[in-house]
Amino acid sequence: MGEPSPTPRTVRTTYREAMRQAIREAILRDARVFLMGEDVGRYGGCYAVSKGLLEEFGPDRIRDTPLSESAFVGAGIGAALGGMRPIVEIMTVNFSLLAMDQILNNAATILHMSGGQFNVPLVIRMTTGAGRQLAAQHSHSLEGWYAHIPGIRVVAPATLEDARGMLWTALEDPDPVLIFEHNGLYNMEGEMAADAGPVDIDRAAIRRSGTDVSLITYGGTLYRTIQAAEQLAAAGISAEVVDLRTLRPLDDETIIASVTRTHRAVVVDEGWRSGSISAEISARIMEGAFYELDAPVARVCSAEVPVPYAKHLEDATVPQAARIVEIVNLMMGDRG
């Protein structure tokens, strides 16, 4: 008999550290890669993701920018057109609205408008979501807006492995990629393979298998959804949890296959319900698996109000495990 396979070595890390190591590795691997944004250098990033990188790589690779999202996103587009591989950090998703013209009218359209002559290999990272009492202007979940735009890819890493591995895959994409990092995940700790590397950003992932209902979610709501699935399991309901991972393009195949197995679907989305990514997913399920459904598709979204500052009101506004369980229990009332 041969030698037993060695147990893969793991490291204890955080989501924040996984993101930092992804940026660091990208800079080491490719001389064209650099990071730019407000306070990414001397301050170390609004969420400390880039802390220490300026000291290691210097101001040519870690570039602090003026307070003008339109200007530095535009500079990132220009750098990408010039052959570089820029990583542009926007502090929070609400600030990205100041660069919407650059993202929508330039980054997403230049390939088309140039007749296929010019790609824009740009990566834009930004923080999204509620849960940290940052009040109405800094608690938006607008990734569904960006998932509406042709010409870009939108990803939402929820696990340590995806935080570590999505960036490099995004940098290899010839077209713009937007990475939405939920602010509630930065402190998340866990074990990760020491040799964790690039990951697939084309496919959704089944995070928990089940037979009774598909819970479809992404990003910061993944763990509340898994918590709900565990509570449902204790009550005898088997919930499958689908982590979308990529919001544009959606992995229809994995979504439809899951719903075909379970015959019920609940979409959990921290965005507002009206015109949301959850509405798009619901429509695709109805188009692709209508005759497989034993109940109408349900949605758990944020209340349609500006996100409150007070903790108890903020918690009441965004999707929680208890609400997911409540919706599933109502849906499962049709059994038997």
Catalytic residues: 69, 138
Angle formed by the axes of helices 277-289 and 252-262, to 10°? 60
- The strand pair at 177-182 and 189-193 is best described as unpaired
Angle formed by the axes of helices 222-234 and 321-331, to 10°? 50
SS3 content of the chain, % helix, strand, coil (to 5): 40, 20, 40
Residue with tokens 């490291």: 11
Residue with tokens 């969420």: 47
Residue with tokens 């935080």: 163
What is the chain's Cα-based Rg? Answer: 20
- The strand pair at 123-128 and 153-155 is best described as unpaired
Give yes or no for a contact between 40 and 62, defined as CB atoms under 8 angstroms apart. yes
Q: Centre a 10 Å sphere on the Cβ of residue 335 and count the other Cβ atoms it contains.
A: 10
DSSP state of 103: I
Instruction: Report the run of H or E that residue 15 belongs to, with start and end.
Output: helix 15-29
